[in-house]
Amino acid sequence: WPARPAVAGQPLMKERGIMRDSPPSGPMPLLAVRGLESGYARLAVLHGIDLEVNAGEIVALLGSNGAGKSTFASTLSGIVPATAGSIRFAGEELVGASPARMVQAGLVQVPEGRRIFPNLDVAENLALGAFRRGRERRDENLARVYQLFPRLEQRARQRAGTLSGGEQQMLAIGRAMMAEPVLLVLDEPSLGLSPLLVDQMFGLIGELNRAGVAILLVEQNVGASLQLAGRAYVMENGRILFSGTSAQLLDSDELRRAYLGL
């Protein structure tokens, strides 16, 4: 996975050191979401979401269960149709694009709950990750995945449904890496893992980022996310309430108590 230089965003509107509503400005971001709205049938879930991710950085999207985080991730990936707004990725407008087109562009999601193919073995699951993107370098990328997750190589011919929860999460991330993501969207990667495995998983996410992959980390685990991410957004009821650097969010006592549970 080729390294990509980080591009720093510049904060705009401030309130007690925390940004409200407005995303950073500056050099063109890798991902720029503007006024995004979506939902299910007649139920509106997202209300005018603005969010940016720059090349080479880790950005966290935080919020409690039901805040709309997974709906945002699914809308970003083309699984849930947007009803309004814009999704610009690497300078290209992709709102309304299919999930396959999103993957072809390099925007790859690891869904909540892993969504592996339980009746296929580990190697077969990984091979499917290169179906839309990365097929020409499948063997090379498979070697990189096995280097990152040696346990997957040890279990290459084992049925995925028999893996432990931590191993299944490794497999879900490895499958996504087979598509050579430019931006990796991780939806609740710590869900259902023990504290020890959570620490290991976040360490691996840091390794992926150092290898040049930008990451949008959609998480309820606030403490671990803010230690890893450079910037973060806080979502509640389908709206972004605050954004800023991780240090700024942690420095606000009111924000920590009211929205971060710290």
pLDDT, tens digit (0-9, with 9 covering 90-100), for 177-214 = 999 999 999 998 888 788 888 888 899 899 999 989 99
Mean pLDDT, residues 40-44: 89
pLDDT value for 111: 85
Q: Residue 6 corresponds to which amino acid?
A: A
pLDDT in tens, 107-131: 999 988 778 889 999 999 999 998 8
pLDDT value for 7: 34
The burial class, CB within 10 Å (0-12 / 13-18 / 19+), for 147 is: exposed
Helix, strand or coil, per DSSP, at residue 3: coil
pLDDT in tens, 201-247: 899 899 999 989 999 999 988 888 999 999 999 999 999 988 999 99
Q: H-helix or E-strand containing 104? A: helix 99-105
Residue 61: C-alpha distances to residues 3, 13, 35, 46, 81 (Å): 23, 19, 16, 14, 20
β-pairing, 43-53 with 82-89? unpaired
Band of the pLDDT at 258, cuts 50, 70, 90? low
Residue 164 tokens, joined: 């432990």
Q: Residue 99 corresponds to which amino acid?
A: P
Band of the pLDDT at 159, cuts 50, 70, 90? very high
